[in-house]
């Protein structure tokens, strides 16, 4: 389903903005998720990644935290290539003892310690969509922590968001009556439930219970469509300035400019990510990993060298493609500490 009234590509005027300076700073080695010619290839790849993730989790040395990343699920419960009911028998139980495969088409997740969602769980952002997502999210009890930031489609979570259509306004008013406490607060309380390990990161952070890594999350993005939009410039820069310098994993909905943010059809500005976020990540925070989504066509992993020579891994975890079909399998990475105490990242792939 194509959601709502998004601006046409050329409606957005980016011409007055200076070009982002980071293309030259970042040493980019994109290895985007390929779009396989045949479904069979995609299914084999997704299942190969799943098996690799199971092996990585089962064999991880002590002090390793395994993160399973998804984003832009847009009400979908199925990663096409992992939801096949024959999946379990193909992999074999012995090979896959902790699998969370279900026969009824639920989004299939490999095992891990932390489940990360980088936003756009909804399509229209109604409370009904959010409630349905929350039910699935809270059923993922194999993860001891589940962390998420909202995206621009998760409108019920944005107190400032103005509904566009009469239908939307009526839905909002009736849910307001239903829940008494106000849609926004109800929406927040649906997902932010620390006592069961679910943290909605809203310019806030949490430390992983496994191995004690720090994670910071924020929903804001350069103005495009929907909720949590801010103009490019000082307002966004102020949000990123709040990210603590000792953060290991930064989760945002928007990509930083130059990493997993390429939209070829956006002719005026094809790298649609946030330049202020790129600056903050590459020059100050220098996290081990930056996780985001939003730009569906750029799902995959890239690596950049930061100002000081440290390396940051960028994960665009978008599950849906540009047709809003959930085709991309989750991206899994592991963090552990080196002898010097530095966070070391390993992204799980099939070729290890
Ligand atoms: P979503 O609607 O799920 O937030 O974003 C979906 C798609 O909108 C992305 O895959 C990308 O093609 C496009 N998109 C996202 N942000 C921008 C932007 O800032 N400018 C343009 N032109 N397209 C964007
Ligand atoms: Mn999206
Ligand atoms: Mn989005």
CATH number of residue 95's parent domain: 3.60.21.10
Task: Using DSSP, state whether 157 is helix, strand or coil.
Answer: helix
Which pLDDT belongs to residue 87?
Answer: 37
Residue 121 Cα to ligand 2 middle (Å): 8
Q: Classify 47 as helix, strand or coil.
A: helix
Biggest distance spanned by C-alpha atoms of the chain: 59
What pLDDT sits at residue 89? 33
Q: Is 5 inside a domain boundary?
A: no
Instruction: Quote the number of domains for the chain.
Output: 1
User: Do 333 and 288 touch, CB atoms closer than 8 A?
Assistant: no
Residue 3 lies in a domain: no
Whether residue 176 lies inside any domain: the answer is yes
pTM: 0.85
Do 248 and 289 contact (CB within 8 A), yes or no? yes
Q: Does ligand 1 lie within 6 Å of residue 223's CB atom?
A: no
Which listed ligand is nearest to 323 at the C-alpha? Answer: 1
* Ligand 3 center–CA 294 separation, angstroms: 4
pLDDT of residue 22: 24
Residue-level pLDDT at 41: 81
Q: Which residues of the chain have pLDDT under 70?
A: 1-38, 77-107, 175-182, 350-352
Domain that holds residue 278: 12-347
Residue whose entry in the numeric block shows the structure tokens 């109800």: 186
* CB 251 within 8 Å of CB 147: yes
State whether residue 151 is helix, strand or coil: coil
Distance, in Å, from the CA atom of 268 to the CA atom of 58, rounded to the nearest integer, reads 46
Q: Which of 266, 262, 273, 270 is nearest to 10 (CA)?
A: 266
- CA–centroid distance, 83 to ligand 2, in Å, is 21
275 in contact with ligand 1, CB cutoff 6 A: no
Please tell me the predicted confidence (pLDDT) of residue 161. 79
Collapsing DSSP to helix, strand or coil, 346 comes out as strand
Q: Which numbered ligand comes closest to the C-alpha of 295?
A: 1
Give the span between the Cα atoms of 194 and 178, in whole angstroms: 24
Q: Does residue 42 fall inside a structural domain?
A: yes
Which runs of E-coded beta strand occur in the chain? 31-32, 65-70, 114-117, 145-148, 198-200, 204-207, 214-218, 221-222, 229-230, 249-252, 289-292, 300-305, 311-316, 331-337, 343-347
CA dist 73 and 66 (Å) reads: 20
Query: Rounded to whole angstroms, how far apart are CA atoms 128 and 139?
Result: 17
Does residue 261 belong to any structural domain of this protein? yes
In a domain, 48, yes or no: yes
Q: Count of alpha carbons within 13 Å of 45, Cβ hemisphere only?
A: 17
* Residue 4, in any domain of the structure: no
State if residue 118 touches ligand 1 by the CB under 6 angstroms criterion.
no
Q: Does the beta carbon of 208 lie inside 6 Å of ligand 1?
A: no
Structure tokens of 267? 């002719």
On whether the CB atoms of residues 122 and 154 are closer than 8 A, the answer is: yes
7 domain residue, yes or no? no
Residue 296 Cβ inside 6 Å of ligand 1? The answer reads: yes
Residue nearest to atom 1 of ligand 1 (CA): 294
Give the strands of the sheet with 204-207, arranged side by side.
Answer: 31-32, 300-305, 311-316, 289-292, 249-252, 214-218, 204-207
Per-residue confidence (pLDDT) for residue 85, from 0 to 100: 33
With a 6 A CB cut-off, is 54 part of the ligand 1 pocket? Answer: no
């Amino acid at each position: 389903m194509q959601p709502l009234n998004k601006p046409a590509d050329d409606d957005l005027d980016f011409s007055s903005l200076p070009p982002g300076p980071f293309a030259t700073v970042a040493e980019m080695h994109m290895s985007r998720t390929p779009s396989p010619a045949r479904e069979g290839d995609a299914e084999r790849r997704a299942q190969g990644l799943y098996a690799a993730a199971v092996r990585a989790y089962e064999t991880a040395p002590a002090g390793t935290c395994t993160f399973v990343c998804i984003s832009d699920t847009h009400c979908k419960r199925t990663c096409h290539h992992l939801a096949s009911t024959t999946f379990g028998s193909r992999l074999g139980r012995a090979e896959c003892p902790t699998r969370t495969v279900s026969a009824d088409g639920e989004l299939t997740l490999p095992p891990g310690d932390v489940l990360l969602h980088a936003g756009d769980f909804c399509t229209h952002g109604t409370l009904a969509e959010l409630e349905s997502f929350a039910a699935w999210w809270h059923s993922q009890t194999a993860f001891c922590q589940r962390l998420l930031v909202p995206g621009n489609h998760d409108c019920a979570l944005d107190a400032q968001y103005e509904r566009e259509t009469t239908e939307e306004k009526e839905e909002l008013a009736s849910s307001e009556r239903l829940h008494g406490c106000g849609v926004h607060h109800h929406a927040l309380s649906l997902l932010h439930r620390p006592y069961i390990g679910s943290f909605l990161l809203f310019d806030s952070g949490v430390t992983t219970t496994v191995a004690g890594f720090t994670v910071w999350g924020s929903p804001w993005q350069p103005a495009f469509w929907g909720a949590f939009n801010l103009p490019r410039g000082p307002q966004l820069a102020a949000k990123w300035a709040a990210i603590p310098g000792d953060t290991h994993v930064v989760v945002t909905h928007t990509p930083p400019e130059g990493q997993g943010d390429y939209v070829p059809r956006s002719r005026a500005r094809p790298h649609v990510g946030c330049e202020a976020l790129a600056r903050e990540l590459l020059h100050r925070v220098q996290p081990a990993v930056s996780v985001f989504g939003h730009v569906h066509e750029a799902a995959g992993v890239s690596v950049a060298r930061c100002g000081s020579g440290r390396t940051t891994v960028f994960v665009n975890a978008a599950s849906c493609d540009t047709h809003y079909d959930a085709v991309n399998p989750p991206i899994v990475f592991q963090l552990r500490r080196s002898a010097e105490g530095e966070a070391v990242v390993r992204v799980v792939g099939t070729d290890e």
